Structure 1
Amino acid sequence: MACDDPINILVVGECGDGKSTLIDALRDKSKSIKPLTGRDPAGVTKDVMLYPCPDLMMNGTSCRFNLLDTPGVGDHEVTPVALISMIEEFLTAGMVPGGIRGLVVTTPIPECRIKLGAQIVQVIVDKGFVAAAGHDKYANIILCGTKSDKAEEEDRVNFMHGTDGGSSVKSLFFKKSPGQTGPCTMVSKHDYSPLLEAIVKLPSTSIAFEKPDAKVMAASLSEKLGMQPEEFESQMTAMRQLVEEQSKQMRDTLQQMNENQAEHRAEMARKDRHVQQLMQKMQEDQRRAEKARVTREQQFELMRQQQDQQRRAEAAQAARVQEQLMQAMQDEARQSREQVEAMQREMAEAEERNQRLLMEMQATNQRSIQAMESSNSSPPMLPLFVNLCTAALTAYTKVRMLN
């Protein structure tokens, strides 16, 4: 069955079995009101009530999930015949969109027995369920032991496996099923997950049901209910007719509820898509803003690197200019020093030449004086002339050295 149709589970049990408490724990609180619960012997649920529940995951697909709460067996205001007629009508194809996928029978674990509600379900399954060849009528039935938290360990063992060689509650309920077994689970008010796991494992097809003849039902149930077969048959015929009339109105109501749910889901899906689009736009805006930020930072970093390179180039150029200036100054100083040294060498050489010349002149003068003294023929002005020449030569040499 496609998940276009909801998974509808009918819940049957006696008054006080914890049936309504179970439904309250599993229902979607935002889509339904709390079912009435309590120990009133008159019962609390008077009609079959549909409770939307959170979606179930079936093979990776989210499927709608509804629980249908029935009046408790033993309700003073809802007779067993009326309850049977209600259950039959809901099991009839088309009563609810998608049909009934499974039937949950609640029975308290501490009581360790098959109660009247479970016995009625057994008769309905045996007489009305239609199974294909090779298939088990009980495959769509879940026996749900309630109040596990209030049961002793021995009660839980007896419920699932039996004790002291006796039959278990499970095997007694499924005694007409192949292997005397079937889907069975135990729950407490703190943990209903085992029941959800069992529902997920139910066959994918809805229950096929045909209303048994009223005589057949009377023969199977009149004695259990303390009624004469004729009385049971008469009541069932009249009740079936009444329930059929009421069910038409209920089908219309349920169909409207289903359409409303579909519209709600479509609206929620539209809103989800809108939110996703907004989120995608926000993410895209954030990506663009982040990209722009990264681009700006890259540009700033590039500008900083360029400025650093320019500063380094300018510093290198200034260093080269300074080095060239220093080199030029050093070259100029060296040239000046070389020129001074050359002038000093020239002056030294000139001084040396002048000294030699002076010494030669002095020597010549001395020889001349000696020669004149020897001959007594020297004019008196010659020594004076020689001395003047010597003095002039010496003065000239000093002036050259100063320049």
Structure 2
Amino acid sequence: MFQKILIANRGEIALRVLRACKELGIQTVVVHSTADADAMHVRLADESVCIGPPPSRDSYLNIHQIVAACEITGADAVHPGYGFLSENAKFADILAAHNITFIGPSGDHIRIMGDKIEAKRTAKRLGIPVVPGSDGAVTEEKEARRIAAEIGYPVIIKASAGGGGRGMKVALTEADLEIALQTARTEAGAAFGDDAVYIEKYLEKPRHIEVQVFGDGFGQGVHFGERDCSLQRRHQKVWEEAPSPALNAEERARIGGICAKAIADLGYSGAGTIEFLYENGEFYFIEMNTRLQVEHPVTEAITGIDLVHEQIRVASGGGLSVRQEDIKFNGHAIECRINAEDPRTFTPSPGTITHFHTPGGLGIRVDSGVYSGYKIPPYYDSLIGKLIVHGRNRVECMMRLRRALDEFVVDGIKTTLPLFRDLVGNADIANGDYDIHWLEKYLAKGE
């Protein structure tokens, strides 16, 4: 097991990893920018190192400074959390060159899954169902028209190196294709420095289903069930739950088994999430995230397994702590992402939190790194906390969530709490009857 882990992140995920390390008796080092000097994870860590000014490129994305912090403090491993350098293959390679363990997959696996075209090819080879579309990048309009005609309209054009909805355009008919292709390539080049795009069949009312997987790096793989992340705004997840209200036991076992086998065959090490669009009983691969997800707590709630403990165990060479038959699913869990944003316009709302009170009681978990008097800096993601609620079934979970949201108090800034209070009382949400477009349509009606 590791002696000292450096946590290369901030906010609630840094605190989440720190807690896991303390439970395992591992010393902790956190890095921070000058803007985060008063952050909770900085206060609680065994050691802290300031690595630069507020802009991420000068601090949390500064590989040289993070490696230097490892060498200064004697950290023998780095946990990247999510975001920042968590899916940076170069970072993983550099740590390996310095004999520092990256708590995550190999640089090669990060590269494969970071390239959306190569990821789709790999998924197909591993037996994972994929969305019909181009086999690689599409550069000419003539080729795009041929592919679109073969798979049928509507189609969606996506950036190969993309994410977060950038470089993504829908063509409903052949007349829309030319401008959609040009716009997607322009956006992709501007956002990612790579204008390569590919074409897929556009599913009109799908759900977003993702499967949590783990591999030991030696040919063993397991899945921890699925999460439903269909409530999204501009391709950003807002509300996640496990298990999905849309799947039956047979579908759940089928897609979980496919994903676990694929991870084993790939020789993958650590945590990963294989994401799908699901429509009319069929799953279609869209991407794989080679890191811990923001929404991992709902999986922990229904399995009782600490996924960060598992990450650390696998990275240290200890292998998986469970076999597939050991993983049991219990009840239902929902996570709400609490952002420092206006609940109607979604504009960021940095500032000082004057009063912060979290809900409690059976089945309630709050992951947050903020506190009363904490000043939210304007430089980073607006997520300030996650409310995770667990119940014996979805009905109990929803009732518990309603109560928890009423207890949650954040004063001094605007947050998305009012949005969740509205959603928990909506009939479609109560019935689990929604798709990836539902939330944006709901919000448009309220404007």
TM range (shorter): under 0.3
Structure with greater proportional helix content: 1
Structure with greater proportional strand content: 2
TM-score, normalised by the number of residues in structure 1: 0.24
